[in-house]
Amino acid sequence: EDKVVQSPLSLVVHEGDTVTLNCSYEVTNFRSLLWYKQEKKAPTFLFMLTSSGIEKKSGRLSSILDKKELSSILNITATQTGDSAIYLCAVGLNYGGATNKLIFGTGTLLAVQP
């Protein structure tokens, strides 16, 4: 059975801290790994990773994929209270064709305290 596991389940940090969120997967036909941020509404897209070792960066957020270790990390530097959210990791499976289904992890709940 295809599986995506995220750790930690939850995390409390103080503003200014750096955090690392983990995502590991066991799937057949891996195609891509995506990170989403979910505040009190819909998940919003952060990154999509398909190649090992290439860092994607957006402001204080960055992510990298390790296909050998079947995992990815999401780093957030200089955290702010606005970073408080659930961070979801999802893996896209290659069944052929465009826009295939995603398998989501249960998420990491990040709380940033002032």
Partner 1 sequence: DARVTQTPRHKVTEMGQEVTMRCQPILGHNTVFWYRQTMMQGLELLAYFRNRAPLDDSGMPKDRFSAEMPDATLATLKIQPSEPRDSAVYFCASGAPTGWHTDTQYFGPGTRLTVL
Nearer to partner 1, 85 or 88 (CB): 88
Amino acid letter for position 114: P
Question: What tokens appear for 86 in the block?
Answer: 């659930």
Residue 76 CB, shortest distance to partner 1, in Å, is 20
Under 8 Å between Cβ of 24 and 71: yes
SS3 string, 49-87, reads ECCCCCCEEECCEEEEEECCCCEEEEEECCCCHHHCEEE
Nearer to partner 1, 76 or 92 (CB): 92
Provide the pairing of β-strand 108-113 with 85-93: antiparallel
Cα 101 off chain centre by: 16
Residue 83 CB, shortest distance to partner 1, in Å, is 19
Residues found near partner 1 in the complex (CB under 8 A)? 31-32, 34, 36, 41-45, 48, 88, 92, 97-107
Residue 98 CB, shortest distance to partner 1, in Å, is 4
Nearer to partner 1, 13 or 102 (CB): 102
Nearer to partner 1, 76 or 88 (CB): 88
Residue 100 CB, shortest distance to partner 1, in Å, is 6
